[in-house]
Amino acid sequence: MPSLADDAVALGALDGRYRPAVAPLIDHLSEPALNRERLRVEIEWLIFLTDHGVIPGAGSLTSAEQEALRAIPEQFGRDDIAELAAIEAETQHDVKAIEYLLKRRFAALPGRAADDPLTELIHFGCTSEDVNNLSYALMVRGAIREVWLPRASALVEQLEGMARELRAVPLLAHTHGQPATPTTMGKELAVLAWRLRRQLRRIEAAEFLGKFNGATGTYGAHLAAVPDAAWQSISHDFVESLGLQWNPLTTQIESHDWQAELYADLARFNRILHNLCTDMWSYISLGYFAQVRGQGTIGSSTMPHKVNPIRFENAEANLEVSNALLDVLASTLVTSRQQRDLTDSSMQRNIGSAVGHSLLALDNASRGLAGLDAAPEAMAADLDANWEVLAEPIQSAMRALAARGVPGMANPYERLKELTRGRRIGQAELVEFIDGLGLPEDVAARLRTLTPQTYIGLAPDLVEHLD
C-alpha cells in the first residue's frame, strides 16, 4: 500500500477539510506566526535598548535601520521559514535560532557586519521565555481581536436580528420537554443572544500580560551587566510599548493566568452557542423552522426528501472539541513546577486548534441560521393543540381574587389541575369552566378572550433589552 504521507496531506481536519473556514488564524496562531512574533519582540527589544541608551556607551540605530529591522517580521515568508528551520536543525533550540537569524539580517544592513558590536544586544538579558511569553500574548491578542471576535460578534448580531424579526411570533414553550406557558420565538432567541453578548463583553475586556525579567524573574543578569539601570521600569515600559500589560512578579515564565481566564470565557461562550445549536436543532425537528434557503445540497444519500440540520450538528461537534482543548489549556497552564517546566511549551502549541474549532463552529452556526425560514403556522398549530396551558392564567386570576376576599375562588390550582391534568381540552371546555366559576364579569371577559397565541405576556417587549 503506498504511503499517503505528503507535505500537502493534512493529518488534522482544520488543516484539511475545514482549512478555508479557519485560514485567517494561520496568520496568528501557526508556528510561522510564532516565529514572526519572536522576531518582532527581539527587534523591538534591540530598538528599545538603543533608543533609551540602556547600555552605556553602546551604539545606536538610525531611523532607516530601525525601519529595515521592523520590516523583517512584516515580510517573514517561505524563504525565511526555510532558513530558520535549517538554523534550528543545528541549534536544536527554537529561540536561539531566531537570535541567529536576526544576527544574520542585522549584519546584512548597509554599513553593518557580523562582528558589529551591536549584534551582542540582540537577545541581551533575555531568557527564551522573555521572548516567548510576549510573542504568545501578541499572537493570541491578534487572533482574538482580529479574527475570532469579529466572527463571534457577527453571529450574535445575526441572532439579534432574528430575535427582533420574530419578537411577536407566538411559540409554545417546552419546560422539561412538556407544553408550558407560551412565549415568542423572538424572545427565546433574544435570551441566547443576550447571554452570548455578555460573554463577548468579557472577552473584549481580556487582559494580555507579559513579563521581561530574566531566567527566574529576578533581573539577575541585567543587574550583573548594568547595575545602575532601572530595570523594573525598563521592563515595564518595554512590555507596555508592545500594547501588553506588565506582569511584575513571575518565575522564569509568565504565569499564564490571563490565558486561563480568556480560555474559560471562550469556553463559556462556546457552551452557550452549543445550547443555541441544540435548541435550533429541536425547533427544526418540531417544524418551527424550515431549512429552505440555499438548499441545493444532499440531505441523505438514500432519502431524497431529507434536509438535515448538519450545520448545527457540525457546530456542536466542533464546540465540544474546542472546549476540551480550552479546558485543558486553562487547567494546565496555571501550574509550573517551581520556577519552570516545559509543560506549557507543548500545551500552548494547541491554542490554534482550540480557537480554530470554535471559529469553525461559528461559521457553521452562522450558515445554519442563514438557511432557516420561520414557520409560524407550525408554531400556531402546536399552540392550538394545547389549550390546557391556559390553566396557569386562570388559576392565577382566581388566586388574586381569593386574596381580595372574593367568594368561590378557593383551591384554584387544584380545580384547574382536575380539569387539565393528563388530558387535552379545547376552547369550548375552557370557556365553559370559566363561566362556571362565578368570576367578576370583567375578569371572566378577559379570560374568555385569552388564547394560547395571545398568552405571551411581555415577551415581545422583552426583546427590546437587546437594544
Question: In the Cβ-directed half-sphere of 90, how many Cα atoms lie within 13 Å?
Answer: 9
Place of cell 522576531: 39
The single-letter DSSP state of residue 289 is: E
CA distance linking residue 385 with residue 170, whole number of Å: 13
Q: Which residues pair with 246 in a beta bridge?
A: 210
d(C-alpha 391, C-alpha 181), whole Å: 9
Residue type, position 99, single letter: E
* DSSP symbol at 252: S
**260/216 Cα distance (integer angstroms):** 22
**Whether 135 is catalytic:** no
**CA R_g for the chain:** 31
Q: How far apart are CA 54 and CA 121, in angstroms?
A: 10
Catalytic, 300? Answer yes
Per-residue DSSP letters for 210-249? E----TTSS-HHHHHH-TTS-HHHHHHHHHHHTT-EE---
Residue of 63, 176, 233, 346 with catalytic role: 176
Alpha carbons 156 and 360: distance in angstroms, whole number: 15
Report the distance separating Cα 1 and Cα 5, nearest Å. Answer: 12
Report the distance separating Cα 155 and Cα 424, nearest Å. 40
Q: Which of 241, 300, 331, 396 is catalytic?
A: 300
DSSP letters spanning 11-32: SSSTTTTTHHHHGGGHHHHSHH
- The owner of cell 461537534 is 317
400, three cell numbers: 388574586
- Amino acid code (one letter) for 52: H
> Hey, CA dihedral for 101, 34, 123, 347, is it positive or negative?
negative
| DSSP at 291 | E
Please give the Cα distance from 361 to 312 (Å, whole number).
8
Q: Which residue has the cell 461559521?
A: 363
How is residue 330 annotated by DSSP?
H
Element containing residue 206 per DSSP (H, E): none
Question: Which residues belong to the active site?
Answer: 176, 300
